[in-house]
Structure 1
Amino acid sequence: MEKRKLWSYENKLVIIFFFTIGFVFFDRLAINYLFPMISQDLGLNYTQLGLLGAALALTWSVSGPLGGFLSDKVKSKKAMLAILVLLFSLISLMHGLAQTFGMLFVLRLLMGIVEGPLIPQTQSILAMESSERRKGFNLGFTMNTSNALFGSILAPVLIVALANAFDWHTAFYLTIIPGLILSFFIFRTVKNPDPAQFHEMHSGKSTEKVKVKDVLKHRNIWLSIIVFSLVMTTLMAFQIFGPTYLVQAKGLSETTMSFVMAAFGVGYAIFGFLIPSISERTGRKPASLLSGLLLILVPLSIVFVDSVPLMMLLLFIGSAGSGVIGMSMSVIPVESVPLQYSGLAIGLTIGIGELFGGFLNPMINGALADTYGIQTPLFVAAGAAIIALLCTMFFKETAPSKVGTEQVQPSARQEEEQEVKSTVQV
C-alpha cells in the first residue's frame, strides 16, 4: 500500500505558514493587551486607541491587495516572504522605543505596510500546493488556528506576563526573536511554486477565462468582502476595546483580563480549523451560517455577563464564529475564481475588509467610546455580526464535495507524488 511521508513538503508549508501567520497576529494584537499599561504611561484616550488600530489597518488594506497581486506575479515568493517577516519583526521591536502617541502611530502604519502582503502570499502558495482533499483544512488551520493560538491565546498571556515582569517596552523588544527564526526557515525551506503545475491545476478545475478586473464580478467575491468587513468589525472591536473594557469598566486585573481573552483564543484555535474542515462535507454555506450565528455571542458576553467563568465559557462557544472569518477571507474566495487569481481574490477581500472593518471601524468606535462609553464599540460589534449572518445566506456553495469540482490532481506537489508512488510496498 501507499505510504505518505509525514514530513512532506505540504506539511512543511502548513507548519511554517502556521507560525508565520500566527506571529503576524501576535504582533498586531499585542498592543491591544498592553494598552491599559501604555495608556497610563503615555496618557492616551480611547480615540487614540482606535487610531492605533486604524493606522495599521489602513496601510494593511492597501498593501494587502498589492501583496495579492505581487504574489501572483513575483518570481521568488520565498525571498519576499522572508524579507517581509524580518521587516515587521524589526518594526515590532521598535514599538518598545516609542515615547509618544505619534511614534506609535507611525510604527503602526509601517507595520501594516509590511504585514499586509504576508497573508495573501502564504494563502496563495498554500492553495496551489495543497492537495484538494486538504485545502479547506490547510487554509483554515494556518489562518484561523494560528491567528487564535498566537494572537488570542499566547499574546494576551505572554505579552501581559512579560510586561508585568519587566515593562511593556521590554515585551516589545523580545518579539524580534521569533521573527529572526521564521525568516531563516522560510528562506531555507519554502519553494517557489511550479508554474507548469499551477496551470495544470487550473485547467483541471475550470475552463473559464477571467481577467483580473473580472474577479469582483463573481458574486461570492463581493459577498465575501462584505461579510469579511462585517466580521472584521466584530472581531477588531472585541480585540481592540475588549481588554480595556474588562480592566476599566469591569474592574478585572490585567492578569484576569488576559485569561478571559485567552478563553476566546482557545476556542478560536479549535474551531478555526474544525469548522472549515467540517465544511468539506457539510458545505461552506451551512458552516458559515452556524459560525456566523455563534459569533454574535462574543461581544455581548463580556458586556452582560459578570461571572468570569461564565464569561469565559460563552467566549469559548462564541469563538466558533472564527469559522466564518476564515471562510469569507480565504476558503470561499479561493474556490470561487480560477486558481491563478487566488492571491488577488484573497488580497481584495482582506484589503477592502481591512479598510472598513479594520480602519474605519476602530476610528469611529474610539470616538464613540470617548463620547458614549467604552461599552459602545461592543454593541456595534454585535450589530455587525447580525448583519454578517444575514449576508452569509446568499453565498453560492463552493465546496468540491457539494458542487462536483474535484480537481484532477489529488496531491500537493508533482515531484512528491512520484516519490509517494515509489514507496508502494509488496
Structure 2
Amino acid sequence: MAPPTPSADRYENRLLVLLFLAFGFVFFDRQALAYLASYIDGDIGLTNSQLGMLSGILALTWALAGMFAGRLSDRLGRRKPILIAAVLLFSLFSSASALATGFLGLLAARALMGAAEGAVLPMAQSLMVEASRPARRGLNMGLLQGSSAGLLGGIAAPIAVVWLAESVGWRTTFFVTIIPGIVVAALIAKYVREHPPRRAALAQDAAPAAETAPAGGGVTIRQVLANRNVVICMLIACCYLTWFVTIITFTPTYLTDEKGFAPGTMSGVMTCLGVAWVLWGFATPGISDRIGRKPALIGFTVLAACCPLAVVYVGNPVLLGVLMVLTYTGLGCFTLFMATIPAETVPRTALATALGVIMGVGELAGGFLGPMVAGWASDQWSLRAAMYIAAGGAVIVVLLATGLRETAPAVVRRRAAQGTAEAVA
C-alpha cells in the first residue's frame, strides 16, 4: 500500500480541481448546442435529422481524436502538452460556431470542436489515475468525469446559455465560451505535473485485477483488445453513448415542442438532469469502491433506463424534474466502464490507449450513429422514438455488464482474503 504523503495528497486534490474544470468546460461547450437549438432553428432552420447530425459529427471527430491522442500519449509518455493544446483548441472551435451562416458551417465548426475535445478525457483520466490513492481512485475519476460534466454542462450550461441567448443572442453566447478554456489551459500549464509525486509508489501498488505489461514494456492495441473487460466496456460504451447523446440532444426539443414547455421551464427541467449528473457522478463510482464496479454498474443502469421513459410519460414539470434527479444515473456509470474498470485492468503503459479506444468506439457507434438514427426515427414517427431508443440502449448495457470481471481493489482483496480463509478452514 502506498504510504500517506502530504505533498502527494495535496497535489492529488489540486489536480482533481484543475481537471474537474477542464472536463467540465468541455461539456459546457458540448451541451450548449442542445440548449441553443431553438434559437438557431429560428435563424437558420434545423430539422431533427440535422440536429442529430450536429451531435453525431462532433462524436465522430471526438472518437477519432480520442483514439489517436491516447495512442500518441502512450508512445510519447506525455500527457500535459496534449491536454493543454486540446483545451485551447476546443474553446476556439466552440466560439467558431457563432460564425456559421447555415447548417454546413455549423457542422464544420462542431466537427473541429469534437476533434479538439476528444483528447481531453484520455489525458485527464490518465493523469488522475497516476496521482490517485487506490482507495479514492473511483471517487476521483467519478468527480472528474461525471460530476464536473454535470455541474458545468448540466447545471451551469442550461441556465447560463439560455440566459445569454435571451440577452445577447445565440451567436454572442458561442463567442463567450472561449474565455473559460483559455483560463483553464493557463492553470494546467502552471500547476499540472507530467509525473505526479505518487506515481512511483502506485506502480508498486497496482490494482489487484490489473494485468502486467509484457517484458518489452510496450502494449499493442491488439493486446489491449484481447482483454475481456476492455471489449465489454467498449460494447457498453456504444450503448451508453446512445442513451446519453440521444437524451441530451432531443430532450430540450421534446420538452418545448412535444410537451409545450416554455424555454424557462425546459431549462429548469434540464437543470435537474445536471443536479443528478453531479450527484451520481461521484456517488456511483464512490459506492463502487465499496460494493464493486460490476454490481454498481448494473444497478444504476437499471435506473438509467427509466429516465427517457419519464420524459415521455410524465407531464408535470416538477414531478418530471424529481424523477430526472432519481433516474439520471448513467453519467456516474460512465466513469466505471470508460475509465475506472479499464484503468484497473490494463498495464499503465497502455492506459491512455485503452481509454481512447473505449471512448472512441463508443462515440463512433453511440455518439455518432445513435443520434442520427434517433433523429431519422423522430422525423419518421415522432420524438418519442428517440426516447425509446435511449431506453433500449440502457437495457442492453445491463445485459453486457453481467460479463465483466470485478476490478475494485477493496472487493478483489476482500474476496482473496475470504478464499484464503476458506482454504485454511
| TM-score, length of structure 2 as denominator length | 0.91
Whole-Å Cα distance in 2 between the matches of residues 405 and 155 of structure 1?
A: 42
How far the C-alpha of 1:349 sits from its partner, in A, is: 0.7
Whole-Å Cα distance in 2 between the matches of residues 209 and 181 of structure 1?
A: 37
Q: Which residue of 1 aligns with 2:421?
A: none
Letter in 1 for 2:271: A
Whether the 8 Å CA contact 2:246–2:370 is kept in 1: the answer is: yes
Is the counterpart of residue 208 in structure 1 residue 212 in structure 2?
A: yes
Is the counterpart of residue 263 in structure 1 residue 272 in structure 2?
A: yes
* Per-residue deviation, residues 226-272 of structure 1 (Å, max 9, x unmatched): 11211110111100011011111110111111110110110110111
How far the C-alpha of 1:209 sits from its partner, in A, is: 3.3
Q: Which residue of 1 aligns with 2:14?
A: 12
Letter in 1 for 2:213: K
Aligned pair partner of 1:318 in 327, 334, 358: 327
Whole-Å Cα distance in 2 between the matches of residues 401 and 75 of structure 1?
A: 29
How many equivalent pairs are there? 404
Task: Give me the identity figure in percent.
Answer: 37
Aligned pair partner of 1:279 in 285, 288, 293: 288
Whole-Å Cα distance in 1 between the matches of residues 278 and 53 of structure 2?
A: 28
Q: Which residue of 1 aligns with 2:175?
A: 173
Aligned pair partner of 1:232 in 237, 241, 247: 241
How far the C-alpha of 1:77 sits from its partner, in A, is: 2.7
* Per-residue deviation, residues 100-133 of structure 1 (Å, max 9, x unmatched): 1010000111111111011000101111111111
How far the C-alpha of 1:339 sits from its partner, in A, is: 1.9
Whole-Å Cα distance in 2 between the matches of residues 326 and 62 of structure 1?
A: 20
How far the C-alpha of 1:405 sits from its partner, in A, is: 9.6
Is the counterpart of residue 299 in structure 1 residue 308 in structure 2?
A: yes
Gaps of 5+ in 2: 416-425
Whole-Å Cα distance in 2 between the matches of residues 204 and 19 of structure 1?
A: 28
Letter in 2 for 1:84: A
Whether the 8 Å CA contact 1:287–1:323 is kept in 2: the answer is: no
More divergent stretch after superposition (98-107 vs 397-406): 397-406
Aligned pair partner of 2:131 in 125, 129, 132: 129
Aligned pair partner of 2:228 in 199, 219, 235: 219
Whether the 8 Å CA contact 1:65–1:347 is kept in 2: the answer is: yes
How far the C-alpha of 1:76 sits from its partner, in A, is: 4.7
Whether the 8 Å CA contact 1:293–1:386 is kept in 2: the answer is: yes
Aligned pair partner of 1:49 in 48, 51, 57: 51
How far the C-alpha of 1:74 sits from its partner, in A, is: 3.0
Q: Which residue of 2 aligns with 1:93?
A: 95
Letter in 2 for 1:208: T
Is the counterpart of residue 384 in structure 1 residue 393 in structure 2?
A: yes
Secondary structure in 2 aligned to 1:336? coil
Whole-Å Cα distance in 1 between the matches of residues 338 and 5 of structure 2?
A: 34
Whole-Å Cα distance in 1 between the matches of residues 291 and 80 of structure 2?
A: 35
How far the C-alpha of 1:350 sits from its partner, in A, is: 0.3
Whole-Å Cα distance in 2 between the matches of residues 63 and 21 of structure 1?
A: 15
How far the C-alpha of 1:197 sits from its partner, in A, is: 7.0
How far the C-alpha of 1:200 sits from its partner, in A, is: 6.3
Whole-Å Cα distance in 1 between the matches of residues 300 and 330 of structure 2?
A: 4
Whether the 8 Å CA contact 1:293–1:321 is kept in 2: the answer is: no
Whole-Å Cα distance in 1 between the matches of residues 269 and 223 of structure 2?
A: 44
How far the C-alpha of 1:284 sits from its partner, in A, is: 0.7
Is the counterpart of residue 369 in structure 1 residue 378 in structure 2?
A: yes
CA RMSD of superposed structures (Å): 1.9
Whole-Å Cα distance in 2 between the matches of residues 394 and 28 of structure 1?
A: 32
1:19-168 superposed matches below 5 A: 19-74=21-76, 76-168=78-170
Is the counterpart of residue 288 in structure 1 residue 292 in structure 2?
A: no
Whole-Å Cα distance in 2 between the matches of residues 243 and 197 of structure 1?
A: 43
Gaps of 5+ in 1: 407-426
Whole-Å Cα distance in 2 between the matches of residues 228 and 344 of structure 1?
A: 15
How far the C-alpha of 1:79 sits from its partner, in A, is: 2.4
Is the counterpart of residue 346 in structure 1 residue 355 in structure 2?
A: yes
Whole-Å Cα distance in 2 between the matches of residues 199 and 349 of structure 1?
A: 26
Whole-Å Cα distance in 2 between the matches of residues 361 and 350 of structure 1?
A: 14
Letter in 2 for 1:222: V
Seen in structure 2, the aligned counterparts of structure 1 residues 77 and 207 have a Cα distance that, compared at 3 Å, is closer
Secondary structure in 2 aligned to 1:337? coil
Whole-Å Cα distance in 2 between the matches of residues 237 and 147 of structure 1?
A: 16
Q: Which residue of 2 aligns with 1:416?
A: none
Whole-Å Cα distance in 1 between the matches of residues 164 and 211 of structure 2?
A: 54
Whole-Å Cα distance in 2 between the matches of residues 55 and 236 of structure 1?
A: 12
How far the C-alpha of 1:80 sits from its partner, in A, is: 2.2
How far the C-alpha of 1:63 sits from its partner, in A, is: 0.8
Q: Which residue of 1 aligns with 2:418?
A: none
Q: Which residue of 2 aligns with 1:191?
A: 193
Seen in structure 2, the aligned counterparts of structure 1 residues 405 and 329 have a Cα distance that, compared at 3 Å, is farther
Whether the 8 Å CA contact 1:295–1:322 is kept in 2: the answer is: no
Whole-Å Cα distance in 2 between the matches of residues 237 and 208 of structure 1?
A: 37
Seen in structure 2, the aligned counterparts of structure 1 residues 335 and 379 have a Cα distance that, compared at 3 Å, is same
